[in-house]
Structure 1
Amino acid sequence: MLRNYRKLLFKNNVCPVIIHKKNFLSKEYKCTEAWNNMNSSPVFNKINIHDFYNVLDQNYSSKGVLSAIDVDIFANAIKDQGHLEELKDLLHKLRTTAETGNMLESTQQATVRNFMEFGDVKELVEILKDPLNFGVFLDDYTANMLLDKLLTLNNYELAARVASLVMLQEEFNHELTCALCQYACYKYITTYTPTPSEPAPPEEKNKKVEEIKIRVKFIRNPFFDDHFDIKDTLLLSGKTLAWISERADNNLNNNLQIIGWLKYKKYDKLAAFSQKISNEKSFKVYKEVIEVLEKENAVIEAEFKPILENCMSTLSKAEQNTEASLEETLKNAIENAINKTHKNDVSQQKQLFESWAKLREQKLQEQAQRLDRARRIQLIQQKQNEMQEQEQKLWFFENEDKIDLEIEEKEKLVDKTVTKKKASKTTDEDYIPPEILPKRK
């Protein structure tokens, strides 16, 4: 039907309307109005965000201290793109202080929302990939919104990276998050095309290379944890697909788990799982799974070909699923998850925003009390010093002997090494050097 409609438009010289891809999540899911209400506190009306950053930066440079509540206020006060780099800088500086453990959850969500709305999503993913320097983590709601945005933009590589971040946290409790992660990884795996590697530069013959040796106390043995140390996006996508698909035992997850173990290069688990599910009567294999296996069999190393061929022959005996494609089934799973969780997610986000607003007010009051207490202590100490100096002036003649003794004690503590060095350098005018006689033959 759509194809005939396009032909009719071109035949009549009518420019076709470009239909953009539909989002999975509705605008209501983002709870933008509730988020703006949370950040409509009178505190934000009193802040000049540019001057506020300068004050925080100077405070950090002079004292090495940065308050988590101040960073939270700055993050939630951003209304344009111009202050995203400053927010990134404050997040990094906060990680270097003892206050990093007090970072508020609203700071992390504000960072994700600001970069999604005003900034570059790619830069946001880089921040999320480096929690050691920025300390920003995704929750279920921000993960869903970010995955929805990336999938709408057809940026499957970044979407797979975000899904891998969810896998690295090992939090698979939210049904919608898991479904979106599965879809992102599946689309990246099926659309992945390896980039041709650049040819190595020709080596110059008879060129001596100078060896540089460095003395070290000990050599650290190489270690690979097969989790946080994985950098390859394709490998991470396979592991994410395999781990998330393990959470539920149904036909869709079983098919996705096969692709996951394959791309994760865990061929022993792939063979064992294929043998297990092939014996189940309810299992139906999708043709897309067989196509991925055949495509991988063409480029796999020779030592693993027998395992993969055995898996293909085992799965080919299972009944084919011809009702719908694997991608359509995944989309239906996402829609079903949205229908189940949408209302609950929206209400929980609104409750979170209210609790975050109350917590921010509480933290601000506590900080104001601490600053007021520190200022009063400083004033008391200053007043005590002034009274001590005044007392010394008033009772100088009565305590003159005592003051003289104190001065003598201080003079004894003076380091005399400098005077000794100066005395050793002075030359005696009557000094006569010894006469050097010639050696006797």
Structure 2
Amino acid sequence: MRRSARCSLVAQRHLLSKKFALNEEWCSRHSALSELGIDGGYEWITAVQKKFVSAKIASAVDVDAAVCIAEELDQLDDILKIIYKLRHIEMTGRMLPSTEYALVRLLLKHHKTDILLAVLTDPINYGVFLNEHSACLIIDNFLEADKITDAARVASCVMLQEMFQSTLLNWLCIYSSLRWTELPTGQRVFEELPSLDYIAGTENNTGHVEDEDEMTFKFPYLKNEYNDMHFDLTDPDQLIGKNLLWFSNCVPLSEEEAKNIRLIGYVFFGNYVLAKQLLQTINIFSSAAAICQSRLEQLTIKTDNIRELQDRQPTENVVEELKGIIDKIEKKNTDEKLSDMIMKHLKAVQNTEEKNVIEIQRSAFRNWIQNRTDLIRAQVETLDLKLRLKETCEERRKLRDRWEMLNFFENRLKWEDMAVVKEELLKAEQDKRKSKEDLEQEYVDEVFHKKNVKKC
């Protein structure tokens, strides 16, 4: 009962059903780990840390077991450190999906959502990616807490992963993104995330660093300025705009709804040409027009910097033109927000789609347990074989030493005979070699001989 209480994710859910959290199924991992002899979270986590300290390496399944067995808040830093270390060794490609999922659940359980976002937005150092179930849990958690900006930020992570297989997740992402666009201008930002330098041990200690402790890094090249308009995107408006453009293609919307959502997406992404073209064929909702006008007003903030004003002039002209078109175009008056329309679609399919995601995740739990069992048994078997091989090599060495001791006199005669043979071969080889003076004399004789032949 105590473990079940600890494993509870949230007491009351707002959007998704309570059973969607799969708390009981997730807690079953403890019994599976106990069957493998892995129990006592603190002891196992410490053992994995010692492997990194002594051997500079630990297996992916060791790290997975440590992350899955962790439950307490004071274990969180240790878990983040071993995941960081795994990410920076050659075994990083073997990180198990259950490791990523377990870390997400642990951070959600202790409401460390700021650290969760920092980890998700730093895939280079942590390599933690979401699956459909964990992404739904996070977005639902943020929506329940009315953290719209954080929910939209997670939706952008899903978009960057190009994870569009789950209809439920697609609806949640597009809903979160629309809720973000409906916020006042001052709230449409991504808050600064906490630094995780203390995990990597790279805190700013410049005041205490001596000259001999400073490190210099040499890079073989300098990265050219480049933006692939996907993984390089950092601007919140562009990320949310791309969310709307991509997710609107992955859910069944009416033509009017799809066009209005794409119009907002084009405006926030900054593709004003396509937005202008779309306005020629759209029956724009008043709510969508208000969102677009809010964003366009934000873009036309004046500046006193003349050079910056000149650089922005072409864009501002397009923005002003787009604002004029939206002002003049006939709008479909409706008090219903686009996000409310999306919520109706979501509610219509929620029960069915929740069951689909739940079934997929339950199957994943079973596969993870079986895979972890196979890997741990294989690791134990490999270790056993290495120990047996070491013992065999040691036994062979002892037998060889004993044989040489028992056959000392016979071996002595053999070595003496071999030494005589080697000495004769060396002497014969030396006789074949000519000294430097002999070679010079032969060269001189050959030259004189050729001259005499020519005279004759």
The equivalent residue for 1:394 is: 406
The residue aligned with 1:242 is: 245
| Residues 271, 311 of structure 1: 8 Å contact kept | yes
User: After superposition, where does 1:184-333 map in structure 2 within 5 Å?
Assistant: 184-194=176-186, 220-248=223-251, 250=254, 251-275=256-280, 277-278=281-282, 283=283, 285-301=284-300, 302-308=313-319, 310-311=321-322, 317-318=329-330, 320-322=332-334, 324-333=336-345
What is the rounded CA distance, in whole Å, between the counterparts of 2:165 and 2:54 in structure 1?
44
Kindly tell me: are residues 385 and 80 of structure 1, through their superposed partners in 2, closer, same or farther at Cα, counting changes over 3 Å?
Answer: same
Q: What amino acid is the match of 2:396?
A: Q
Q: Within 5 Å, which residues of 2 pair with 1:89-238?
A: 89-194=81-186, 220-238=223-241
Alpha-carbon distance, 1:26 to partner: 1.1
TM-fit CA distance, 1:323: 6.4
1:74 partner SS = helix
Asked if 1:75 is matched to 2:67, the reply is yes
Report the alpha carbon displacement of residue 295 of structure 1 after superposing the two structures with TM.
Answer: 2.2
2:29 equivalent in structure 1: 38
DSSP-derived class of the 2:241 partner:
helix
Q: Is 2:384 the counterpart of 1:381? A: no
**How far is 1:29 from its partner?**
0.6
TM-superposed deviation, 1:347:
2.1
Which residues in structure 2 correspond to 1:20-39 (within 5 Å)?
23-39=14-30
TM-aligned CA deviation for residue 22 of structure 1: 6.2
Q: 1:338 aligned to 2:350?
A: yes
Deviates more, 1:227-236 or 1:74-83: 227-236
Q: Report the more deviating stretch, 321-330 or 214-223.
A: 214-223
Letter in 2 for 1:263: F
State the shift of 1:60 in Å: 2.0
Residue of structure 1 in register with 2:453 after alignment? none
Give the direction of change, closer, same or farther, for the CA distance of 1:216–1:343 in structure 2 (3 Å limit): closer
SS state of the match for residue 130, structure 2? coil
SS at match of 1:299: helix
The one-letter code matched in structure 2 to 1:286 is F
Distance in 1 of aligned mates of 2:325 and 2:338: 19
2: distance between equivalents of 1:246 and 1:53?
Answer: 44
Residue 306 of structure 2 is matched in structure 1 by none
Q: Is the 8 A contact 2:166 2:357 kept in 1?
A: no
Contact 2:272–2:322 at 8 Å: present in 1 too?
no
* Aligned match for 2:77, one of 58, 61, 85: 85
Which digits, 9 at most, give the CA deviation of each residue in 1:365-384, with x for residues without a partner? 11111111111111111111
- Give the one of 2, 22, 42 matched to 1:50: 42
Is the partner of 2:299 in helix, strand or coil? coil
Contact 2:185 2:295 in 1 (8 A): no
Shift of 1:404: 8.7
Cα offset, 1:32, TM superposition: 1.0
Alpha-carbon separation, structure 1, partners of 2:268 and 2:355: 35
Give the Å deviation of 1:78: 1.1
**TM-score scaled to structure 1, two decimals?**
0.75
User: For the residues of structure 2 that align with 1:328 and 1:168, how far apart are their CA atoms?
Assistant: 25
Does the alignment pair 1:360 with 2:372? yes
Give me the whole-angstrom Cα distance separating, in 2, the residues matched to 1:66 and 1:332.
Answer: 48
Q: CA RMSD in A?
A: 3.0
Distance 1:376 1:239, change over 3 A: same
In structure 1, what residue type is equivalent to 2:21?
K
The answer as to whether partners of 1:94 and 1:100 remain within 8 angstroms in 2 is yes
2:378 is matched by which residue type in structure 1? E
Q: Provide the rounded CA distance (Å) in 2 between the counterparts of 1:162 and 1:183.
A: 12
Residue 120 (structure 1) shift:
0.4
| Worse-superposed segment, 368-377 or 345-354 | 345-354
Letter in 2 for 1:149: N
Q: 1:21 to 1:234 in 2, by over 3 A?
A: farther
Does the 8 A contact of 1:290 with 1:312 survive in 2? no
- How many residues are paired up? 367
Q: Is the 8 A contact 1:241 1:256 kept in 2?
A: yes
- How far apart, CA to CA, are the structure 2 residues paired with 1:383 and 1:172? 59
1:422 corresponding residue in structure 2: none
User: Which deviates further from its counterpart, 42-51 or 103-112?
Assistant: 42-51
SS in 1 for 2:182: helix
Change (3 A) 1:383 1:192: farther
User: Where does residue 440 of structure 2 map in the other structure?
Assistant: none
- Shift of residue 309 of structure 1? 5.2
Paired with 1:85 and 1:403, the residues of 2 have a C-alpha distance of: 63
- Compared CA separation, residues 21 and 32, structure 1 to 2 (3 A): closer
5+ long unaligned stretches in structure 1: 1-19, 197-213, 410-441
Greater displacement, 239-248 / 154-163:
239-248
Q: Is the 8 A contact 1:167 1:243 kept in 2?
A: yes
Q: Percent identity?
A: 25
When structure 1 is superposed on structure 2, of 311-320 and 114-123 the one drifting more is 311-320
Structure 1 or 2: larger helix share? 2
Indicate the SS of the match to 2:410: coil
**Deviations 1:354-410, CA, capped at 9 Å, x for gaps:** 222122211121111111111111111111122222233333343346779999x9x
Q: 1:406 to 1:387 in 2, by over 3 A?
A: farther
Q: What secondary structure sits across from 1:345 in the alignment?
A: helix
Summarize the Cα distance change of 1:44–1:188 in structure 2 as closer, same or farther, 3 Å threshold.
farther
Query: Deviation digits for residues 61-113 of structure 1, max 9, x if unmatched?
Result: 23222111111111111121121111111111112233222222211111111
Structure 1 residues 147 and 405: CA distance shift in structure 2, 3 A: farther
Change (3 A) 1:93 1:342: same
* Distance apart, 1:115 and its partner CA: 0.8
Checking the alignment, whether the CA contact within 8 Å between 2:296 and 2:323 is kept in structure 1 is no
